[in-house]
Structure 1
Amino acid sequence: MNWNGVPVLVTGAAGFIGSHVTELLVRRGARVRPFVRYNSTRNLGWLAHLDPAIQQELDVVAGDLGDAEAVLQAAQGMEVIFHLGAMISIPYSYAHPREVVETNLIGTLNILTAARDLGVRRVIHTSTSEVYGTARFVPIDENHPLQGQSPYSASKIGADKLAESFFCSYELPVVTVRPFNAYGPRQSLRAVIPTILVQALTRDRIQLGDLSTKRDFTYVVDTAAGFVRAAEVDEAVGEVFNIGSGREITIGDLVEEVFSITGRRLPVEQEAKRLRPTRSEVRRLWADSSKAARILGWRPQVDLREGLERTLAWVNDHLDRFPGDNYVV
């Protein structure tokens, strides 16, 4: 697909994955309209840290996903919508389930409705590996049961089903992308890899939650490429795609990898406030991304070691951005 001049709306563009998708689309020649949450300081999140030449190409629109009129206005004239906007913190969803559900479910409904009414050519809806819950079989393919083990995951299951329903009911050309644990530059301490890296660089001990859980980590540049491929392939419409590395690792072993690349070895402690409720903890995630390989032609290009080294270099350059207590909900 030739992206040159294609008008694209990206919700959640100021965030971690969204900023990388935005950057990739601009580099491909698309005319990108980032949809960001309004704030009085005009803080554009990670968009403000993109190359100035890329920033100049952006048509930034501020609004709220929960405002159907704002979403409809933002989507005017767009051919493709990448819907990444969401409230993504699992611990926050324990404290404020209503806010998380309303943002993730109603926000998605507003995007889908606007896309239907405006005749948008393709919607890329963002899911999450959290919808699978603890793996019942591995590797996890797209037919794995969905399990709402947190209010966040339940909200995303609902959003996924809304996307499915608009494809079935209105023939909306929607594709659902289900990323597994993306990591890399621009990620906050809400996530485990920057948390470990920052602690390894600045503290005399590592404090984490459950070290025995297993995750499938995918470098964010690969993740962004998967999103863009989902918009390029006609056979993707109506389908769900896992985007994962195909490798699982325990958090404890991940800490060892970080020790190896930083050259520092520290005591590791389990901190109670970082633990999920027992039945809510997702014990194991391991992606089967063979469907993405077969239909999208997508495969991860960056292995964990290289991705950690790239992330470490970025964290080293941005240590002043991270809070001193190193714990973010």
Structure 2
Amino acid sequence: MANLSNNFTYCDLEEFRKHYKENIHGYLSLTVCIFGSIANIFNICVLRKMRSPTNCILVGLAVADLLVMAQYIPFTVHRNLPSLPLYYTHFNYSWAVFYKFHSLFTLVLHFIACCLTIILAIWRYVYVSQIHASNICSDQKRTVIVILVTYIACPIICFPMYSTLEIMGYNQTCDLNGVIVLKEDRPKYRKLKNETIFILHPNDPNYLSVWVYSLLLKLLPCILLTILSYKIISALLETRRRRIKLLSSSSPLQSGSRRPKSSTIQLYKENQADRTTKMLLAVLLLFLVTEFPQAILGLTSAIYGQQFLDECYAALGKS
């Protein structure tokens, strides 16, 4: 880690963080989670009726997103939209346990979503490339098994992260009714008392969670998806080139005659498949746009240490 003087500042984002957290973040995240949960429920209901290996993976993605958003609703209400005045019971042990569960649960589910996105890209690349050795990718039951294995394996892979958070008790000054009193307001009170509050505290001196998060859960999936997206685009362009070449090599009599019904159906299926591939490719590219900045920010935090983590990552990523 870099050794820097106390006067050095990476980011001056405290004002932005305070304004965003107090006025925007709670309401925005709650709105996104509610509408996102509803949208994912609709996705699951629709995709279940359109059975195919690709749609099975999309259902798996929708389930992961739904679980994250559904459990994020009580978290954001408690943390970002608390009722005032703030009592010390707001930070009781039960909520601290829930906070720890929230942190690990969202981490695991996000990793599952990343893995399923990569699987989706692999399945589509196999399809557009017309690779013959694609028994798993074309079989719905085997695809479901792969999805279930992903849901089981990801929590095991994330196991080293489970010990990087611990619940710690702190003394908190309150008035006689249990309302938390800030340090600068304490002279206004004649009588105060101390109560115990419980806060989630990182127990990660070697920045294991930051390294695992930035490299394994963010950067590696982004690199894999970049390569797979390039492969899919190349396969689409090659397929289009072959199709144009095949049409141009037809004889004038064949090109001027009425196209057989079987050929028309085949062309319609290919156009539908191309549109589906382009739609899924757009999903992959949107994933990269959202994940790459987080991967870079997390990796930079791992390299430069706690100061960068507090001043930059906390302000932008953990408001």
TM-score by length of 2: 0.25
TM-score normalised over the length of structure 1: 0.25
Structure that is richer in helix per residue: 2
With a CA cutoff of 8 Å and minimum separation of 6, indicate the structure with the bigger relative contact order: 2
Larger Rg: 2
Between Structure 1 and Structure 2, which shows a larger proportion of strand residues?
A: 1
